[in-house]
Amino acid sequence: MNTTSSENSTSPLVQLQPHDEFNRQLESNVHPPTWTNPTPSQPYHLVVIGAGTAGLVTAAGAAGLGARVALVERELMGGDCLNVGCVPSKGMISAARIVATMKEAASFGIEVPENPVVDFAAVMQRMRRLRAEISPADSAQRFSDLGVDVYLGQGSFAGDDRVTVTRNDGSTSELQFRKAVVATGARAAAPPIDGLETVEYLTNENLFSLTELPPWFGVIGSGPIGAEMAQVFARLGSEVVLFERGPNILGREDPEAAAIVQKEFERDGINLMLNSKDMKVSRCEDDRIRVAVKRDGDPYDITVDKLLVAVGRAPNTDGLNLAAVNVEFGKTGVSVNDHLQTTNPKIYAAGDICSQYKFTHAADFQARIVIQNALFATGPFGKKKSSDLIIPWATYTSPEVAHVGLYEKDAAKQSIEIDTYVQHFADVDRAILEGNPEGFVKVLTRKGTDQILGATIVAENAGDLISEITLAMTHGLGLSKIGSTIHPYPTVADAIRKLGDQYNRTKLTPRNEKLLGLLQRWNVGS
């Protein structure tokens, strides 16, 4: 079913299913079927192509500073984050966590049904309702009210100072610009798996359209998306099989942190097919999907009802005509310098289209750099650098894994000598009382100092806890400063303060201890 009427030609490429009241509400905000593109106001100080996080922040910020701004979007405003990423996935995660909490209630002395009944359709309806309620913040009308000219259609460079916007009905608008920003993001890409093209597999772009819980749910890839959704569907009642080429899940993360999450996955009943190689996919006669793999050399043949492919991203460069304006791009996206300037000095880029950090918050802060550099900086001076950003991230499994800065393996590769401080939650009162004693906070400092180089947290609310360490790193505060900051008791965050205490105790050398003893005896004697 189309998301717009046949009389209208603004239908986005990403279709919203099911076409219920909540998706209609979402669509009316982020891709209004009756939207009329404005008459261009020439020339624009800034034309932004792509209305995901990077594009929205750039457009709103620049317009707020008095610039004439045009914002072009061919699909759904809000990008992946609102429509097929952060928002819907966290809506499902919150429901799955309620199920897990109910199953653990007996350990708190609370009797509830041993196997809670999950209404998957209602879970997904709740997600769609909340997504629709959030969507006005990213809506075409809101940005128009902010002074941004919003154009729905395919943006394409027609020259060094022009962008053409083409609607589905063939009508066009020509926008002249002084500077332009490419913020078109990235999309799911199919990995080279034998037979994958013969089956109807899921990606993040259609996963959230499901209305029935698949009895057997397969996931290829154990990165953030794959890991989060494998655990969600397992907790909501699917038999989940997670296929991973490597020996562990979350291969990018600290191995000790990933091991704790992996243990929880096993408790959730997820069938972990690690070291899966030579994968072949085929369609069964009943439209189920057969996955044949070799695990540690042994053959396995598994049939699932739905298969989520959660590996691989491709930059959205199609249709932009970048080559015509001398903007270099490739399989990893648009090439930019440290100021987020492309190989065409009048054109900038921000977000997933050009960044190694595929996170909403990274796109947000890159957009702020683009506003400064594109509109206000002149010459080599006054320009902000993307390399100055200290970017944390989190994977929202249970427990969560959050990280910022260097890993121990990074320090070793760069020949940086470090000290490592670890505080286990098993020794933190609030974590014990909450029933979450597993996990830890690990902080790396430059050897012999309290300068924080990186940190990993594995805990139920690790994504919230990491911000204290990110703040310290951003503003040059050392571990000793954290140790001298009063934290409320009892809180899980007190684990971070305890790391400061650990560092301070290293300063109590035998010589210092002897001097303190002499001072104490002198004070007593006086």
Binding site for NAD(+): which residues? 221-228, 244, 312
**Cα dihedral 424, 430, 436, 440 in deg (nearest 10):** -20
- Residue 331: strand, helix, or coil: coil
Q: Which amino acid would we find at residue 52?
A: G
Binding site for FAD: which residues? 90, 155, 352
H or E stretch including 518?
helix 510-525
What's the rounded Cα separation, in Å, for the pair 330 and 333?
Answer: 5
Strand partners, 276: 295
Q: Which residues, 6 or more positions from 415, have their beta carbon under 8 angstroms from its beta carbon?
A: none
The answer to whether residues 362 and 353 touch, using CB atoms and an 8 Å cutoff, is no
What's the rounded Cα separation, in Å, for the pair 128 and 405?
Answer: 35
> Measured in whole angstroms, how far is the alpha carbon of residue 303 from the centre of its chain?
30
Characterise 185 by phi-psi region: left (phi > 0), alpha (psi -120 to 50), beta (else). left
What's the rounded Cα separation, in Å, for the pair 17 and 381?
Answer: 49
Say how many residues make up the chain. 526
H or E stretch including 49?
strand 44-49
Q: Which amino acid would we find at residue 97?
A: R
CB atoms near residue 75 (< 10 Å): 25
What's the rounded Cα separation, in Å, for the pair 408 and 417?
Answer: 10
Quote the tokens at residue 257.
């942190």
Residue 50: burial class (beta carbons within 10 Å; 0-12, 13-18, 19+): buried
Binding site: which residues? 90, 155, 221-228, 244, 312, 352
Q: What is the DSSP letter of 341?
A: B
Q: CA-CA distances (angstroms) from residue 428 to 183, 254, 440?
A: 43, 21, 10
Strand partners, 151: 72
What's the rounded Cα separation, in Å, for the pair 185 and 77?
Answer: 12
Q: Which residues, 6 or more positions from 17, have their beta carbon under 8 angstroms from its beta carbon?
A: 1, 23, 206, 209
Among 458, 456, 488, which Cα is nearest to 469's? 456
